[in-house]
Each structure stands twice: as C-alpha cells, then as structure tokens.
Amino acid sequence: MSQKNSNKKIVAFIGLGNMGGGMAPNLVRAGFQVHAFDLSAPALALAESQGCSPYSSAKEAVQGADFIISMLPNGDIVEAVYIDGPEALLNSISPSALIIDCSTVASASSIRLAKSALEKGIKAIDAPVSGGVAAAAAGTLAFMCGGEKGAYQSALPVLNAMGKNIFLAGAAGAGQIAKICNNMLLAVHMTGTAEALQLGVDNGLDPKTLSDIMIKSSGCNWTVEKYNPYPGVMEGVPASNNYEGGFMVDLMLKDLGLAQQAALASQSATPMGAAARNLFNLHKHSGGENKGGKDFSSILDLYRRD
Ligand code: NAD
C-alpha cells in the first residue's frame, strides 16, 4: 500500500491483464499515482515492477482515488465488481471520484453501471478501446466514450495519458455501441477481403499483385491495405507470423456476439454481421484445432484449399 503523494491524482486500476497491464504504466509515466488490483498475483507483480502500487483488494485500491479505471474481461465481472459482488465497489468509492470502465461489455451493462453509480452520487462513463495490446503499451489507443459531457471532460487527462484518439459517442452505453459497430464492420471487411484474395489466387493471381490493385481501386479497405490476411503479402502483420499476436479470433467473436445482442435489442437487420459471426465461429473450430487464440486475419484459412 502506498502513501498518498499530495501532488498526484490517484487512479485505482482494476484489471491488469493483456490490456490493463500495458495501460496502467502509461498513467505512472504521466505522473498519476496508480493503485493497482488484479486477482492474478503475477499480473499485479508485473504492474508493481512498472511503478504501480499493488493492493490486496479492489476495495482497498479505490480508497481515496480520484479516478477508478477497470479493464475487465466481460460485463458479468464488471457488474459484480461494482454492483452485485460481495465487495460491490459502489459502496466504497467517493462521490467525488469518476469511474471509467474501459472493458468491452454490452451497452446495457454500461447503462446499468452509470445509473447505479448515479444513485450513489458517483459519475461513471464507458470508455471501451480500439487498438490491441501493442497500442495499450504504446499509449496509442482510441477511446470511444459514453456518458455525460462533464464527466467525459473530467476523464480526458487520464485518457490522454493512455490514448491518441478520444471520442464522446453519446450518453451512457454509447461508447460500447460505437465499439461494436466498428468491430462488426472490421470483421465484415476482413472476411470479405480474405474471400476476394483467395478467389484471385484460385484463379491464378499473385496475392500481392491483387492486393496492390485493390489498394488503388474501389475495393480498398483497412484490412487489405494495413493488415493484409494473406501470408507473405505484407511484413509486420500477423499473417506473416503464423497469425500469432494481433487481435484474437475469440475476442472478435465476443464483439460480434455483442453486436448481435444489440441488433436484437434494437430490431436492426445486420445480415453481414451475423454472417461474419458465423464465419468466425466456423473458422475457430475448423481444421481439427481450436483457432480462438489466432489473430482474426487467420479467417483466410477457411477459404484456402492447400
Ligand atoms: P485479460 O483476460 O488479459 O485481462 C483481464 C484481467 O482482469 C486479468 O488479469 C484478470 O485476472 C483480471 N480480473 C478478472 N476478474 C477480476 C476481478 N474480479 N477483479 C480484478 N481483476 C480481475 O483481458 P484483456 O485482453 O486485457 O481484455 C480486457 C478487456 O479489453 C476485455 O473487455 C476485452 O474485450 C477488451 N479489449 C481487448 C483487446 C485485446 O486485444 N486484448 C482489444 C480491445 C479491447
């Protein structure tokens, strides 16, 4: 447990996994005092080695904090940590503190958290991120926020220390909606790009030549230009590293599931998003191995014949 350094704002950081473990040290570098908690002892030890102060419970970590950031696996855990669990943090957080939940969860979870917090006089925003583990460590994440404008503005000094592009999408839950819309489109682009590249290869084209043509033509999109799924076309992307690193199929499936939940709730037609979710699910279980841990550009394997 650390002593309060009166010159520094205190950020309690809950969840120091692949993402949080990269984000929290950027807050230390920016001059915040970071009170860290994670259920995993190795994650907490790593954060300590990077300047965070480890705490033995989330309840202790939030004492005296000006900001509470959470970066947790899913909405059930977020709701348990703040509202429903035995140590429901809303009972311990000061009304002057601001909750910034960066986890990717259903917008309904974010709305419930914001309402439950407000009942205790505490402000909360949702701030899910775009950009993976490398962007978390480099401090170049994009944050898509949902919540009241004043709370969003109060969060900016903290978010600026961890990210490069920060947006207010709308009211509570809007950040989550922006995130799943973006990732649903990304998945559609990736499956479409893989399908088109393989069609070209099956008809005798070189994948690099075809990519160069598409990049300068109307089929250009981020996945063909910056994150090409065909092995050997581009250096420094997961496709040229046996689909290791990057953004896992399991995480894309999680986001596509959240997109389908949102579509059901709003009765929106999302046939491409539904197809993408099914394709990534088929891909995950194809070829006799679980591909959930591979980068999502490995969807190309579903189309290859060799
Ligand atoms: P992760 O599983 O690596 O990390 C989650 C951490 O939370 C773990 O260290 C775990 O021990 C901890 N945790 C779980 N329950 C806890 C509790 N009750 N109290 C304290 N700590 C607890 O996950 P991640 O990859 O860091 O992802 C975190 C969030 O970010 C997810 O919502 C994910 O969808 C989102 N996200 C991830 C990526 C990515 O590329 N990994 C990209 C964008 C968004």
Residue 2 domain flag: no
Residue 244 domain flag: yes
Considering the domain architecture, whether residues 41 and 127 belong to the same structural domain is answered as yes
**Known catalytic residue: 9?**
no
Domain end point (choices 171, 188, 211): 171
Number of structural domains the chain divides into: 2
Helix or strand holding residue 45 (H, E): helix 41-49
Question: CATH code at 61?
Answer: 3.40.50.720
Q: Which atom of ligand 1 is nearest to the CA of 20?
A: 26
- pLDDT at position 305 is 85
Considering the domain architecture, whether residues 129 and 37 belong to the same structural domain is answered as yes
- Summarize pLDDT for 228-270 with one digit per residue, the tens: 999 999 999 999 999 998 999 999 999 999 999 999 999 999 9
Query: Strand (E) positions, the chain?
Result: 10-14, 33-37, 53-54, 67-70, 98-101, 123-126, 129-130, 141-146, 163-170
Q: Could you tell me if the CB of 14 is within 6 A of ligand 1?
A: yes
Residue 78 domain flag: yes
Other beta carbons within 10 angstroms of residue 81's beta carbon come to: 24
Considering the domain architecture, whether residues 110 and 164 belong to the same structural domain is answered as yes
Q: For residue 2, what is the DSSP state?
A: P
pLDDT tens series, the chain, 306 aa: 555 666 799 999 999 999 999 999 999 999 999 999 999 999 999 999 999 999 999 999 999 999 999 999 999 999 999 999 999 999 999 999 999 999 999 999 999 999 999 999 999 999 999 998 999 999 999 999 999 999 999 999 999 999 999 999 999 999 999 999 999 999 999 999 999 999 999 999 999 999 999 999 999 999 999 999 999 999 999 999 999 989 999 999 999 999 999 999 999 999 999 999 999 999 999 988 999 999 999 999 999 987
Considering the domain architecture, whether residues 14 and 163 belong to the same structural domain is answered as yes
Residue 294 domain flag: yes
For residue 262, CA distances in Å to 143, 181, 265, 268, 304 come to 20, 10, 5, 8, 32
Considering the domain architecture, whether residues 148 and 184 belong to the same structural domain is answered as no
Other beta carbons within 10 angstroms of residue 287's beta carbon come to: 11
Q: Could you tell me if the CB of 73 is within 6 A of ligand 1?
A: yes
Residue 3 domain flag: no
Considering the domain architecture, whether residues 145 and 75 belong to the same structural domain is answered as yes
For residue 130, CA distances in Å to 174, 185, 213 come to 14, 13, 28
CA–CA separation, 140 vs 137, rounded Å?
Answer: 8
Domain end point (choices 145, 171, 197): 171
Residue 76 domain flag: yes
Q: Could you tell me if the CB of 127 is within 6 A of ligand 1?
A: no
CA–CA separation, 85 vs 16, rounded Å?
Answer: 19
Q: Which atom of ligand 1 is nearest to the CA of 130?
A: 43
CA of 15 to the centre of ligand 1 (A): 6
Ligand 1 pocket test: which of 13, 35, 39 has the largest number of ligand atoms within 8 Å of its C-beta? 39
Considering the domain architecture, whether residues 205 and 262 belong to the same structural domain is answered as yes
Residue 5 domain flag: no
Considering the domain architecture, whether residues 70 and 207 belong to the same structural domain is answered as no
Question: CATH code at 273?
Answer: 1.10.1040.10
Global pTM?
Answer: 0.95
- Chain CA centroid to CA 40, Å: 19
Domain end point (choices 171, 192, 226): 171
Considering the domain architecture, whether residues 21 and 167 belong to the same structural domain is answered as yes
* Domain range for 153: 10-171
Q: Could you tell me if the CB of 141 is within 6 A of ligand 1?
A: no
Considering the domain architecture, whether residues 274 and 135 belong to the same structural domain is answered as no
Considering the domain architecture, whether residues 166 and 187 belong to the same structural domain is answered as no
Residue 4 domain flag: no
3-state DSSP helix/strand/coil % of the chain, to nearest 5: 50, 15, 35
CA of 212 to the centre of ligand 1 (A): 37
- Phi first, then psi: what are they for 120, rounded to 5°? -100, 10
Q: Are strands 129-130 and 141-146 parallel, antiparallel or unpaired?
A: antiparallel
Q: Could you tell me if the CB of 137 is within 6 A of ligand 1?
A: no
- pLDDT at position 74 is 96
Q: Are strands 129-130 and 123-126 parallel, antiparallel or unpaired?
A: unpaired
CA of 283 to the centre of ligand 1 (A): 23
CA of 220 to the centre of ligand 1 (A): 32
**Which residue's CA is the closest to the ligand 1 atom numbered 34?**
104
Query: Tokens 């140590």 label which residue?
Result: 87
Residue 182 C-beta-side C-alpha neighbours within 13 Å: 16
CA of 16 to the centre of ligand 1 (A): 7
Q: Which atom of ligand 1 is nearest to the CA of 104?
A: 32
For residue 11, CA distances in Å to 5, 17, 57, 90, 140 come to 12, 17, 15, 16, 19
CA–CA separation, 59 vs 1, rounded Å?
Answer: 12
Ligand 1 pocket test: which of 38, 78, 100, 179 has the largest number of ligand atoms within 8 Å of its C-beta? 38
For residue 185, CA distances in Å to 189, 191, 204 come to 6, 10, 29
Which is the catalytic residue, given 59, 123, 179, 284?
Answer: 179
CA–CA separation, 143 vs 194, rounded Å?
Answer: 28
Q: Could you tell me if the CB of 62 is within 6 A of ligand 1?
A: no
Considering the domain architecture, whether residues 115 and 249 belong to the same structural domain is answered as no
CA of 207 to the centre of ligand 1 (A): 35
Maximal CA-CA distance, the chain: 67
Q: Which two tokens stand for residue 23?
A: 């984000």
